[in-house]
Amino acid sequence: MQGSSTEEILPWADLPSSVPPPSRPGIRYTDLSKIATARAPTPEFFVLQHHDIPRIEPGSWKLLITGCERGDVSLTLEEIVSRPSRRVAAAFECAGNGGVGMQGLVGSAEWEGLPLASLLHELGVPSQTREVVFVGADGAEERLRGNQYPSRFARSLALPDALGPDVLLVHRMNGAPLLAEHGAPLRLLVPGWYGVSQVKWLERIELSPSRFMGWFMAKEYVTVRGLRRGDEIEHRATSVGKMRLKSVVARVVRSDEGSLRIEGLAWFDGTPIDAVEVRIDEGGWEPAALERGSSPHDWIRFTLAWPSPSPGEHVLVSRARAGARIQPTDSEASELKATPWENDGQFARRIVL
């Protein structure tokens, strides 16, 4: 799968020759057609946040941890970086990813940081703790029962999820210090969860005996989905959490000998992906070759040779499989879903040869 310099990435017929610019400043899409390595280089990794990127002075920055058995503890960056760190390759997708940015709100990187579990065990977790709340430095006014109050970007995890071995307080990304746009000096990584859980610009971690109902847990990033209960359809709202099984065709490459190959990416919540299949036009589903990353949380690259395509327009689509799960068609995925979040449907691409 090593690309040589004479290989050509063919243009899609379903999008402009480059990924369209995002609607808000400070936001960047991953251009999936440029991903030649199993990992997106940091400059290609998408950037998204809901408020302005905060200015943080790393020298005066501190992380405050409240509600531990030791009481409230604050740590400098030096005190965090000097503790033993762990590296995890993990991909995450924004739960709002879809056609607008050509599926470009997804990325994969090698993250390095302090395992949250080791820090919390050091500081002591009181027995009444139900959730861990992660609070960023950025924020805006939030509407609560008719009134506006200043608030911070924040998300919570149930305690068992927060104590997962790969949940990290990240200070390095792809072997370099974390960049401001990705949450420097410290961000949370929760492998297998949608992007909204990966809190950037962390300033406070709270051990809490009660459920956290902040804006990005209970108001936004809430998926509404119809569930069939016998003859009835019951609508259910759930907070965006673990990622759904998904794959996308990213590009078609012409090798120096002239043969074509279809390449793409697939990701899930840490459950192993067994297969990715590709369908060309009205043909059957063909199994693609898989190139796995170094951890079950990394995305998988898939490749399928396309030996003798006819000239003209073609439609390419992929679907991932994991155990009994199959990535749904676009109409199956959207049929009972009333919000744009967790868009896991198959994504058909058009190309003209």
Q: Which residues bind Mo ion (CB under 5 A)?
A: 94, 195-196
Tokens linked to 310: 């006819």
**Footprint of ligand MTE on 112-151 (CB under 6 A):** 136, 138
Provide the β-strand partners of residue 47.
28
Q: What are phi and psi of 339, to 5 degrees?
A: -130, 160
Shorter beta-carbon distance to ligand MTE: residue 194 or 306: 194
What minimum distance in Å lies between the beta carbon of 181 and ligand MTE?
Answer: 6
What minimum distance in Å lies between the beta carbon of 38 and ligand MTE?
Answer: 18
Shorter beta-carbon distance to ligand MTE: residue 91 or 333: 91
The reply on whether position 198 binds ligand MTE by CB under 6 A is yes
Query: What x-and-dash track marks residues 281-320 binding ligand MTE by CB under 6 A?
Result: ----------------------------------------
Using the rule CB under 6 A, which residue among 14, 15, 22, 50 binds ligand MTE? 50
Task: Residue 270: name the closest of 174, 158, 189 by CA.
Answer: 189
Are 126 and 68 contacting, i.e. CB atoms less than 8 angstroms apart?
yes
* CA pair distance 342, 320, nearest whole angstrom: 15
* Residues ≥6 apart with Cβ < 8 Å to 264: 32, 247, 248, 249, 250, 251, 276, 278, 288, 301, 302, 318
Are 300 and 267 contacting, i.e. CB atoms less than 8 angstroms apart?
yes
The reply on whether position 186 binds ligand MTE by CB under 6 A is no
The reply on whether position 215 binds ligand MTE by CB under 6 A is no
Using the rule CB under 6 A, which residue among 46, 193, 341, 347 binds ligand MTE? 46
Residue by residue, DSSP assigns 239-270 as E--BPPPEEEEEEEEE-TTS-EEEEEEEE-SS
Shorter beta-carbon distance to ligand MTE: residue 19 or 253: 19
What minimum distance in Å lies between the beta carbon of 153 and Mo ion?
Answer: 11
Q: Pick one of Mo ion, ligand MTE, none as the site partner of residue 29 (Cβ within 5 to 8 A by kind).
A: none
Shorter beta-carbon distance to ligand MTE: residue 96 or 316: 96
Do strands 300-306 and 260-267 pair parallel, antiparallel, or not at all (unpaired)?
Answer: antiparallel
- Which chain residues interact with ligand MTE by CB under 6 A? 45-51, 94, 107, 136, 138, 153, 182, 195-196, 198-201
